[in-house]
Amino acid sequence: MSTTSISTAEPGSDDDGKMPALKHRPRPLPTPLPARNLTSVRSALQRNQAVNLPDEAASVITGGLTDPDRFKLLVEPYPAANGGQTSLLNSKRVGEGDVLVTQQHDRFIDIGVIPDLAGARWAHTLLNQLDNATGERPAANLTTATGPNNRPYAMLELQVADHQEFAARIREAFVRTLPDSSTVGNDYTASVLQSGVKEPLLLVPIRIRFADGSADEYYLVAIDGNSRLVSMWKGRVGGKVDDAATACIETVVGTITGKTVQRASARHVRDQLTSRIVRVNKGLKEAALSEATIRAGHTTTAPSVVVVGGLTTDGAGPLTDLVAAREDVIATIHTDATPWGAVAQAEQGMARLLRRALNGHLITADERMVIEGRCTVEQMHATLGVPAHRLWAVAVSLKAILTTWYPEMRTLFAEEFNNSRPNRLAIGKQIAATALSGYRSWEGYGVAVNAFADGGPISEQVWATTWKLTRGETPFEVLDAVLRAALDGDQSAVAELCVLGGAAAMLDGLITRDRGSKLNPLAGGEVRYVPLRLRPYRVVEELAKSKGGLRTLHSLAVAHINEGIAKQFHTHNDPEGTFVDGDRVMDLSDVQAEIYSEWHIVYAADPRRSQEAIDTATKDQSGGGDGKQTEPEAVKLRRMLLDGAQAVQKAAHGLATLSQSQGKAVFGGYENVEAIKVSLQGSRDVLNTYGPAPRVIIADDPDDDEVEGALFGDDGAPSVRA
């Protein structure tokens, strides 16, 4: 296959037009050796019994070395006292056993190094196919590569359709890692251009398999240090992240145009490297370094550590799950499992918990696929039989965790999240982002995550019952069947309705954690005002105790799926016999009343305590007495003043209209009109004398006006509260 030409575009200037202050001069760079000169190094690597890699992966590792002789010393096996081998490889503990990694060494990023294509931590969130509004590509199909007799390698494997998808995933990795935004906190471009890269990249061999029949390709993928790698490419080209992605793809993979692929040959890449290195070394002799020398000198090599092997705890064989080991290795490098955001940390912890639960046969592979959003709603319906709607993905997540809670899942949860006695609030906090990941583009996603983090729909009925999900074709048929069973006393159906209706209400902002006021008896229709403070799961819990509450939960789920408005139901019997529990609440037009605020939900959940709270608050505001509110004197007089002024204006205009046909006599005598004028002028003089002074308004440029920010939770992406 013909080779590609490497991108030779001149680097553009930084955003401020200045290079960052130079703290460390680049080092002189060695020229890369041809592959034939690296044979002995590759042989030394493969002779090490701890290394479990095919020759192609070993070639990628040795091909990008800046100092092959030193690397050979690091991996060369030597006789041990026990008759075995020893070397300078490092051992890192993971769940299944131990991973073996090389010591730190420098390598050229142009030769075989690509960013993390799995994207488990891009933008602090997991990819999710259940959220059909995001337009995200399917999650990467990342597995452990195997060799003869299905023996696992210390190598990842990614299946892609063709080179176009491969290139798209590399570009996606760049954009998601460092989007062009001034608020990105992990963009190290300026630091790289000042000092180079100081912390090593953690690399793992990866085999790319193409469904279109193209030959397998081997690379080193950065599982840690993604931001550093992308920042190096941004520093190299001096442009936007998309320019950096293009340079990386063209240099490391090749030029991909339509269905045509021109691979970047190793020889061509070395020639390009050699040419650049010669220019850098010449530039380093100058007293004042040029921009080109700094950019190329600091972005050509990076310190690295490479995974080359692994053994299970019993030493019986190689690691079988390198995908799991990858996350465990990252967790040994970083204190809090690496992500910057609490939501990302919870998602990554849940990923590890689910992996362990699957290995322990606590959940099925299909359940894990749905919980992690690695399928569409149609695929969820085909595999699990539940309706093809993402609301049921939330229910699948809760069912998988809670119905296997004692004792195995509880132990896994306690170990993973360092919580010896996890309760509903702890579970809600950790599961929230994962359970709701199918709704990431939903307008009320942030408010719903906060509600889940406060216990979510894990009511007592859900917590204490072993429940199942009802299968069926359409959401409405299933919800109707669940409601009928719940009204007949089926506790599994009650729990199921709590999850579906409660989750729907939280997603629609009708059961929240973010309420504006603890008590305001006059705020019955305002958003996030409630008569009684109840945790989200307590609201669901109380609703499930009455027929009207169960019907309310059913209506909330139906309204969510329909994108309509839920209806109100009575949740208790009227002492006077006007209505009974389960009857519809009718408005003055004899139409069933709608639920348009959280007030209605909380009141329906606990009518007695809600009414007591309203009465108490009303009494407090009225100053005591019999609970009837007394209007303040100033309010009464202001109303009299406004009503009188409006009456005078109406009468004057009316008489003026009559005078057109009946003459001025309609106003009465002259003396009477003058007396009215004097009275009105006297009132006006009082208002001018004792009324408030006008505000002084300074006219500013309207473009300089402050724009009030969105209310908390309304922007769709607040962080989960600790």
- Among 603, 621, 639, the domain-final residue is 621
Tell me, yes or no, whether 501 and 596 share the same domain: yes
Query: pLDDT confidence of 326, banded at 50, 70, 90?
Result: confident
Residue 211 φ/ψ region, left for φ over 0, alpha for ψ in the -120 to 50 degree band, beta for the rest? alpha
pLDDT of 575 higher than 90? no
What separation in angstroms does the CA of 410 have from each of 43, 94, 414, 415?
A: 48, 21, 6, 9
Distance CA 353, CA 363 (A): 11
Query: 5 lies in a domain?
Result: no
Mean pLDDT of 51-78: 96
pLDDT in tens, 655-669: 888 787 777 887 888
Find out whether 568 and 595 touch, Cβ atoms under 8 Å: yes
Query: 177 lies in a domain?
Result: yes
Tell me, yes or no, whether 326 and 369 share the same domain: no
Find out whether 461 and 152 touch, Cβ atoms under 8 Å: no
Query: pLDDT confidence of 7, banded at 50, 70, 90?
Result: very low
Tell me the percentage of the chain whose pLDDT exceeds 90.
52
Find out whether 413 and 427 touch, Cβ atoms under 8 Å: yes
Find out whether 433 and 348 touch, Cβ atoms under 8 Å: no
What separation in angstroms does the CA of 412 have from each of 368, 405, 406, 427, 435?
A: 15, 9, 10, 12, 18
For the chain, the domain total comes to: 2
- Among 311, 333, 355, the domain-final residue is 333
Query: 720 lies in a domain?
Result: no
Number of helical (H) and strand (E) elements in the chain, helices listed first: 26, 13
Tell me, yes or no, whether 188 and 121 share the same domain: yes
- Among 333, 366, 399, the domain-final residue is 333
Query: pLDDT confidence of 211, banded at 50, 70, 90?
Result: very high
Query: pLDDT confidence of 334, banded at 50, 70, 90?
Result: low
Tell me, yes or no, whether 424 and 308 share the same domain: no
Query: 690 lies in a domain?
Result: no
pLDDT in tens, 533-554: 889 999 999 999 999 999 999 9
Find out whether 229 and 247 touch, Cβ atoms under 8 Å: no
Look-up of token digits 């085909």:
382
Tell me, yes or no, whether 387 and 423 share the same domain: yes
pLDDT in tens, 259-270: 888 988 888 999
pLDDT in tens, 180-206: 876 777 889 999 999 999 999 999 999
Mean pLDDT of 438-459: 90
Find out whether 552 and 569 touch, Cβ atoms under 8 Å: yes
What separation in angstroms does the CA of 218 have from each of 102, 215, 232?
A: 18, 10, 22
Tell me, yes or no, whether 362 and 304 share the same domain: no
Tell me, yes or no, whether 379 and 327 share the same domain: no
Tell me, yes or no, whether 503 and 591 share the same domain: yes
Residue 533's domain comprises 342-621
Query: pLDDT value at position 126?
Result: 52
* Per-chain mean pLDDT for the chain: 84
Query: 653 lies in a domain?
Result: no
pLDDT in tens, 473-517: 999 999 999 999 999 999 999 999 999 999 999 999 999 987 655
Q: Which of 387, 544, 380, 388 is nearest to 478 (CA)?
A: 387
In sequence order, what DSSP letters do the residues of 251-271 get, joined into one string?
A: IIIEEEETTEEEE--HHHHHH
pLDDT in tens, 685-713: 888 888 776 644 333 333 333 333 332 23
Tell me, yes or no, whether 328 and 350 share the same domain: no
Tell me, yes or no, whether 413 and 446 share the same domain: yes
Tell me, yes or no, whether 404 and 541 share the same domain: yes
pLDDT in tens, 576-605: 888 999 999 998 888 999 998 898 999 999
pLDDT in tens, 127-185: 577 776 555 566 677 889 999 989 999 999 999 999 999 999 999 889 888 888 767 77
Query: 520 lies in a domain?
Result: yes
Mean pLDDT of 610-624: 72
Query: 661 lies in a domain?
Result: no
Tell me, yes or no, whether 304 and 221 share the same domain: yes
Distance CA 471, CA 482 (A): 10
Query: 705 lies in a domain?
Result: no
pLDDT of 388 higher than 90? yes
Query: pLDDT confidence of 9, banded at 50, 70, 90?
Result: very low
